[in-house]
Amino acid sequence: MRRILIAGIALLGTMLGSAAHAAPPPEFGNDWDDPRVAAPPIPKPPGRSCTVRIVDNQFKSFDPFEGTFAPPAGCAGPWAKVVLTMHAAVKGRQFDRLGHLAIGGVTVFKTSTPQPSPEGIRWTVEKDITAYSPILGAPQPVMMRLDNVVDETYTGILDVQVDLTFWPGAPPEGGPDDVLTPGVALPRNTERLLAEVYVTGSGGGCEEFWYITAPPSSGYSCPADNGPYREVQILVDGQVAGIAAPFPHIYTGGWSNPFLWYVIPAPRAFDVAPVVYDLSPFVGRLTDGRPHEITVSVVGVPAGQPGWEAPVNLLAWRDPGSAQVTGDLLASSLSPLRNEVEVSTVDGWTQVAVEGGRKFSAVGYVQSSRGRLTYVVGRELANTSRHRWQAGENPDALKAGWTDTSTVVVAGRSPSVTRHAARYTLDGVVSVSAENRLTTTMTATDAATHSSVGSSRPTHWTLDDTYTGEATWTLGVPRPDRHGVGFSRERYQLRGTTGCYDRTIATVNGFVTNDTNAC
């Protein structure tokens, strides 16, 4: 579940000032504003900090960067906050690329890159990685992949630096005691367990755009026997232990139109968030000192079809009063998959209509030094989709929505209830005119409602991150003759017990025309 704090809003005045252009150009040229997102900045504690650079590399091949990390001598732990900052630059011509950063084998960051202007762009991404502090107290190997192709045509070299900044102080309440990778035995006194899966459909094939796949009978160019329904399952020793809806990522070349994303990317493009599962009902079976098999399966992918990445982390909380926690899984239930796919043709339009979903629940307990803790986990997924196209897949339109609702109840000495309801939507269309002008129109939303009551202070928040845009350019001609035009807008609204944040960024033809905060 997403941990979000709203702070540092006063700092936005400096960020937003003089950021907008009053008179954008009539069309895209050889340069445009650097990419940016409307999400809030990471709040930083006051006082001294120490920064360690862990990546400094030019990515121009499929060779990963390999280095080492050592904790900063001047800021010995524990830490109140640890923030990862990636600075990057690229110019020339290049596709979007998917990046993956691991420290000590643990995935701490996943990202995709913007496509550059001929003159070059720079961008910065921040991520709060305080939860990974357990692996940062000792030297660790560092590995970053950002596979890239540089040749006479694709000239963009990705120049990347990644820093970790540490603020000494008392660690935040409730952070994990251990961060592990699958195949490592859990500490025997583990009493709570979460799994993170940095899952993405990627690689350039149809599974990168899994949400538009269609049954072969429809004649669509991206076939999938069971249509576009996808479900990410996590399994413990071969048994399903959780389900989730994958986020419908759009990378910065997506929907046939890089002009749409040059300045403002789609939600989550620069900071690919993991899917999170609560595996606590299974903990009693995992504290025997032996490694257990934790695997991921993506339901709906055609047999033999590649294109999904799913690195896994395990976040564990220990019982300090026990040498070993015992317990058991009492029950688990996975409902039959509902995946109703209807293909029809009316008035020259082919349509694939989908109604899908599934439910999962698990109940388990652990016997800890604080008594018996019973975990009840429930998750419900739903997907509706209407994919329509005409001859030649022109126009090609999709209107789809996904909901992913989870509830975790902890019964015992300190009972709690946490509910997280996520909602994702895509509403887009691509068309090509008789003059070979391609137009893409898109609205994409990443929304959620979260509440938690129990042993700690009650919290609740709501998120709505919505991107809208339209861009047009001429196909099959040199760059100077494309005459790209377009506008885009992102509004990021976050409200709750931690405050109010409401920022809007708007662009026309590659230049920011509005960047304001309404709170």
Q: What pLDDT is attached to residue 413?
A: 85
Exposed, middle or buried: residue 340 (CB in 10 Å: 0-12, 13-18, 19+)? exposed
pLDDT, tens digit (0-9, with 9 covering 90-100), for 333-386: 999 999 999 999 999 999 999 999 999 999 999 999 999 999 999 999 999 999
Q: What pLDDT is attached to residue 209?
A: 95
- Res 490 pLDDT > 70: yes
- Res 166 pLDDT > 70: yes
In whole angstroms, what is the distance from residue 251 CA to residue 206 CA? 13
* Other Cβ atoms closer than 10 A to 59: 25
pLDDT, tens digit (0-9, with 9 covering 90-100), for 190-233: 999 999 999 999 877 899 999 999 999 999 999 999 999 999 99
User: Bigger pLDDT: 12 or 462?
Assistant: 462
In whole angstroms, what is the distance from residue 257 CA to residue 429 CA? 11
DSSP assignment of 265-290 equals PPTTSSS-PPEEEE-GGGGGGT-SSS
pLDDT confidence bin for 11, thresholds 50/70/90:
very low
- Res 14 pLDDT > 80: no
- Res 9 pLDDT > 50: no
Q: What pLDDT is attached to residue 4?
A: 30
Q: Is 293 left (phi over 0), alpha (psi -120 to 50) or beta?
A: beta
State how far the alpha carbon of 463 is from the alpha carbons of 40, 198, 376, 469, 491, in Å.
Answer: 12, 21, 25, 20, 11
In whole angstroms, what is the distance from residue 183 CA to residue 292 CA? 6
User: Bigger pLDDT: 280 or 173?
Assistant: 280
State how far the alpha carbon of 497 is from the alpha carbons of 7, 415, 451, 462, in Å.
Answer: 12, 20, 10, 10
pLDDT, tens digit (0-9, with 9 covering 90-100), for 475-488: 999 989 999 999 99
Q: What pLDDT is attached to residue 144?
A: 98
Average pLDDT, the chain: 94
Exposure string over 123-145, b if 16+ CB within 10 A, otherwise e: bebbbbbbbbbbbbeeebebbbb
pLDDT confidence bin for 22, thresholds 50/70/90:
low
In whole angstroms, what is the distance from residue 176 CA to residue 193 CA? 9
User: Bigger pLDDT: 115 or 77?
Assistant: 115
pLDDT, tens digit (0-9, with 9 covering 90-100), for 291-329: 999 999 999 999 888 889 999 999 999 999 999 999 999
pLDDT, tens digit (0-9, with 9 covering 90-100), for 253-280: 999 999 999 999 999 999 999 999 999 9
Q: What pLDDT is attached to residue 21?
A: 60
Q: Is 170 left (phi over 0), alpha (psi -120 to 50) or beta?
A: beta
Q: What pLDDT is attached to residue 384?
A: 98
- Res 85 pLDDT > 50: yes
Q: What integer is the mean pLDDT of 48-64?
A: 97
Q: What pLDDT is attached to residue 7?
A: 33
In whole angstroms, what is the distance from residue 379 CA to residue 357 CA? 11
Exposed, middle or buried: residue 212 (CB in 10 Å: 0-12, 13-18, 19+)? buried
List the one residue out of 273, 265, 275 whose CA is nearest residue 492: 265
Token pair listed for 137 = 């107290």
In whole angstroms, what is the distance from residue 395 CA to residue 70 CA? 53
pLDDT, tens digit (0-9, with 9 covering 90-100), for 503-512: 999 999 999 9
- Res 19 pLDDT > 60: no
**What 3-state class would DSSP assign to 218?**
helix
Q: Which residue has the tokens 């990202």?
A: 111
- pTM of the prediction? 0.94
Q: Which of 5-14, 141-150, 159-168, 354-363 has the lowest mean pLDDT?
A: 5-14
